[in-house]
Chain A
């Protein structure tokens, strides 16, 4: 009887331990799940730039492959970037009009295939021979995917002539649940620029 009571108590307690390991972010809304990262080159004074241009489509990178896309959500993204840059005091010019800054937007979709081994290395029920399987342990595969938006701001004014490259003076990433939602695209683009007050011209 005593042992039964203790067993029941232990089972209840174990159940409680596991019930408290809920996902603490399961209740986040799509908007709340969004995370905006912006990085800047602190040595750069953005006052020196006056004009900018924006790439005419979205660069889509999927693992090592890449291509271009211009769906309606892509257009909203590019238009959002232009509107925000204008609001900060920059002048929008065409790519052939010698812009000081060039902005590109990309959709990154990386898929990772992960391997984990199942630790069965011997047939424990088979007599006392101590022989293992004649082939390696089983493996299980699982796939993870990471999608995010990436916006880069390139300095066309101070090109690195030795490396033949344009320095990235600012970049931004948007990660979260529902980042393909067209209803959130304006919120997302506005957030990137509102958390970067140092870009302001006036």
Chain B
């Protein structure tokens, strides 16, 4: 009889322990308690828009990628830096170009390489461990612009560092709750004021990217 009572007691104790156990995990995760770092690599398409599309290159490119490093603060903000590259290119079949006293017949290859380096701030609309974390982004910095216009294989090249700014919307998707790895989807408008030859004021692109991120604390 004593044994039965002891067994019952043990069962109850074990059950209560088992029920208590999840309480250990109700502590907020370190990602919710501390600042943490987050690195993202993104690939995607850059679509020229506005003057850039009307006057120089209207063809989208998939040679578009970036890497960013951010610090996620305990509130809903994160700040960081991002470098990237968009390589726009368009071939125009042989055509005749009239200048003042000169006529040139050539196959044109128009290229524009934008290599932005920007600081950004993100505002997140969800908690740090939510599986889906939408955010908006504001960014500003500079861009190394390489404008190379080829007539045949003869090039007119112009390189300049110009200011750049951008605004984006996106979302992070954690692969598992409280995990370190996830995906990032983002659509971002970027503008670089730039004036040379065919481009009369602005080089704007819409970047749509898919990324993968890793976070640690």
Contacts and interface: CB of A to CB of B under 8 A. Distances in A.
Contact of B153 (A5, A28, A42): A28
Interface string B68-103: 000000000000000001010100001010000111
29 contacts: A2-B214, A2-B216, A6-B39, A6-B214, A9-B67, A12-B41, A13-B65, A16-B65, A17-B85, A21-B113, A24-B148, A24-B150, A25-B150, A25-B152, A28-B109, A28-B153, A32-B107, A33-B152, A33-B153, A35-B106, A35-B151, A36-B104, A36-B105, A37-B102, A39-B102, A40-B103, A175-B152, A176-B153, A177-B153
Interface of A: 2, 5-6, 9-10, 12-13, 16-17, 20-21, 24-25, 28, 32-42, 175-177, 191, 195-196
Contacts of B109: 24-25, 28
Nearest to B105: A36
- Where chain A touches its partner, the secondary structure class is mixed
A52 to B, nearest CB: 20
Interface residues of B, number: 29
Contacts of A42: 101
Interface in B47-80: 63, 65, 67
A13 B67 contact: yes
Interface string B144-177: 0000101111110000000000000000000000
B111 interface: yes
Interface of B: 39, 41, 63, 65, 67, 85, 87, 89, 94, 96, 101-107, 109, 111, 113, 148, 150-155, 214, 216
B105 A13 contact: no
A35 B101 contact: no
B89 A24 contact: yes
